[in-house]
Structure 1
Amino acid sequence: MSLDLFETERLVLSGWRMDQLDDLLALHGNPNVSRYLSLSGAPWTREQAETALRGWIELFETRQLGKLRLTRKSDGKFIGRAGYGIYPRTGEPEIGYALFEEYHGVGYATEAASGLRDWIFRETDAPHFIGFADTRNAPSLAVLKKIGMEETHVEVDHNGLTCQFHVYRRPHHV
C-alpha cells in the first residue's frame, strides 16, 4: 500500500512512518502550534508525539484515516499535518489540521481540508464527519466554515477545551 493518500493542487497528503517522528515533534513541539490542542497548551513531548504517530499509523493502515503528513508539491517541504481522527466520545471521524506558522494564511489548511472533505465521501461510506476548534482559534474555525461545515454546538472537548463543533453531512445527489 502506498503511503500517499491523495494530492491537491499544491499538496501531497500521505501516511507517516516512525522515522518521521522528529518532523511531528518539530511541529507539535512548537508552542504556537500546540496552544489550542490541550488545556495546558503545552508543546508536545517526544513521548506524546510518538504515541500520536503510532496511533495515526495504525488508523491509516486499518481505516485509511489518521492525521496525514502535508508536503508541498513544489519542493517536497513538510509543512504540517491534516486528516481524520476518531472523536473518542462518539467514534465519529473528526477533521483536524496543524501547520507550521510560516505556512499560515496562504490557504494550505483550507486546501487540505477541502481535499479531505471530498476524499472521505468518495472513498468511504461515512455519512458525515465533524470538526471542532477552540473557540479562541479564529483561523481554524474559519477553515471549517470555508469548507462548508455547519456549526452545531459549543462543548468542552475530551482535552478540556471549550470548542465550537461543526458537522459536514454527505451530500445527497438527486
Structure 2
Amino acid sequence: MIYRSLPSASLLFILFLFSACRFNPNIQKSGSPAFQGVWEEASLPFKDSLLLSVKHTFKFTCDSFYVNIESFSKVNYYADSCFKGGHWKEYAKGNYVIREDTLYMVGAFTHANFKQKLSGCYRTGVYNPKFLIRKTEAEKIELVNIHQHLPMSLALKEKITCNPQPL
C-alpha cells in the first residue's frame, strides 16, 4: 500500500516545488529614497595627523552605487610609478542595501569609466565596505566605517530621482 501512494506523494511534492519558486523580476530595485543622489565626504578635522586619509564621493541611484575614492598618503605603500606623490584616485561600483542601521555595499573596483578593473595600481577585486548609519537628514548623512571606525559626514551635492531600469 505504501508503494502505491509513493508516486502520488512524489507528484504532489514536485507540484509544490514548482508553485513555490518564482523568478525575480528583471528590473532593478528602488533603493533607499534618503540616499538617492551624489554625496561628498567632508574632510576630517584630524586629517593632517593621519598617514593615509581618504575622501569619498558616492552616487546612489536606485539600488546601485558608484564611488570615487581619493587617497592622500604620507607613506609609499605602492611602487613608485603608482604612488604619484601620495595622491591617487580609485573607483568602484556595485549594489547596496540598508538593513536596520547598517549600509552594506557589494561591488568591484573599476577604472575611472567604471569598467571592471582586473589589474594595475592600487586595489582590484571586491569592494565590500559596511557602514553604521548614525544620522540621515535631507542634505546630510553621517556614517561610521565598521572596519576602520572612522566617522564620515556626507553632504548632498545633487539629488537624484530613482527611475528603475530593466536589468
Structure with a larger share of its residues in strand: 2
Superposition TM-score, scaled by structure 2 size: 0.25
Bigger Rg over Cα = 2
Structure with a larger share of its residues in helix: 1
Query: Of the two structures, which has the highest relative contact order with CA contacts closer than 8 Å and spacing of 6 or more?
Result: 2
Superposition TM-score, scaled by structure 1 size: 0.25
